[in-house]
Amino acid sequence: MIAPQPFFEPRGTPFSVLGRLRALSELGHEVDLVTYHIGRDVPVPNVRIFRTPRIGFIKSVKIGPSVPKLFLDVLVFAKTFQMLWNSKYDLLHTHEEASFFGVLLAKLFRLPHIYDMHSSPPQQLKNFEVTGFGPLVRLFEWIERRVVGSSNVVITICPALQDHVDQMQSAVPHVMIENVGSEIDLNVVPQGRMEEISRELSALGNRRIVLYAGTFEAYQGLDLLLDSAQIVAKVNNDVMFLMVGGQPEQVERLQTRVDQLGLGRNFHFTGTRPPEEIPVFIQASHALVSPRTSGTNTPLKIYSYLNSGKPIVATNLYTHTQVLNADISMLVEPEPRAFARGIMEILQNPTLASMLGKQAREHFGRNYTFQVFLQKTNQVLQLATR
């Protein structure tokens, strides 16, 4: 398995990679994972992690396309080629842009190839505003079609990507496996850390907590959340927006804006936390928000939100509505007043909040269990090796 990401770090694709590894391990398979030198090892039975050589001046990799990522991908390719040359494998499973060279290596070494599609490369260029050079976008569109057409099976992670592959009219089978295989067990949080988190939450006082958990990238819609918070705080001055995530410089930038808006007493930033701690913060909250304003992939947090049984407020955009509906969440237009109204309705109507949370958890239990995840993973393996 080839994962051109910092594995493991608590963000989208690394979570998905972890889910795939756990599923393959549970199904009795042995996996060698090639990944960047950045990240921490996560023990998974029957999984060995092989990292690229450590590059001293690359200590982190931001989300999205970047020059350091391109450099590291060359090292991933070299490491992958070396391992394929020296050892015998039954299948090659590549994530994201590793599929670009994965299809070539699969043909060279006569292996079935699984393309794990977490996003569309041309769409990524648009999301991160790398669109000034039109030929580059068209090149990525051509590469994407070639990769899909040359793979034995494609995994997609949400309906938007499933539809995207459908539109290519490729005969290659593709299976949608939602990102629920990396759900964290609350019991793995050490007792000492649980006590520290409890003290942190207690320091917030007896406040109604609105939680956002995730990265602080622009497409997440945090500007919308801050604008909405101004409206909410005027009506519910005891509200506390608990922001779990973000790199230090991102947190500092957002904290500065919060202070400028006069919302300092209504916001608490935790910074990036280990994934096993996130459920603790979620369970302490009264409402969960996802203000995403762009993109089409379903935010990974949505599945954790659903499983928590807490009421969800999200923008009424396809990024959310391909999974959420009005029976299991509060869907609102992506503008400050509407988002604020959605939050206030949840905070002021406990009956509605309880009903939405209950129905959300039941929906998760019917559609997104680990057993379903395993069944779909096994289906992909059968399609790839038939």
Residue 180 has pLDDT above 90, yes or no: no
At 181 the pLDDT is 65
Residue 131 has pLDDT above 60, yes or no: no
Residue 126 has pLDDT above 80, yes or no: no
Rounded mean pLDDT, 171-180: 92
**Residues in contact with 330: Cβ distance below 8 Å, sequence separation at least 6, in sequence order:** 311, 312, 313, 314, 342, 345, 346, 356
Instruction: List the domains of the chain with CATH numbers.
Output: 2-180+369-385 (3.40.50.2000), 186-367 (3.40.50.2000)
* Contact predicate 210/242, CB 8 Å: yes
Query: Residue 128's Cα: distance from chain center in Å?
Result: 16
The DSSP bridge pattern shows strands 92-95 and 174-176 to be unpaired
| Ranges 180-184, 236-240, 308-312: which has the least confidence | 180-184
Residue 351 CB-half CA count within 13 A: 0
Distance between CA atoms of residues 81 and 78, nearest Å: 5
Residue 68 CB-half CA count within 13 A: 16
Question: Own/partner pairs for 166-171, CB < 8 Å, 24+ apart?
Answer: 170/145
3-state secondary structure of 271: strand
Closest CA to 156 of 184, 197, 123, 186: 123
Helices (H) and strands (E) in the chain, counts: 15, 13
Residue 317 pLDDT class (50, 70, 90 cuts): very high
Within 27-66, where are the H helices? none
pLDDT in tens, 195-219: 999 999 999 999 999 999 999 999 9
Q: Note the pTM of the prediction, 2 decimals.
A: 0.89
Distance between CA atoms of residues 195 and 214, nearest Å: 23
DSSP state of 245: B
DSSP state of 218: G
* Contact predicate 237/262, CB 8 Å: no
Q: In this structure, what token pair is assigned to residue 236?
A: 């519910």
Residue 146 has pLDDT above 60, yes or no: yes
For the chain, the distance separating the N- and C-terminal CA atoms, rounded to the nearest angstrom, is 19
For residue 54, count other CB atoms closer than 10 A to its CB: 10
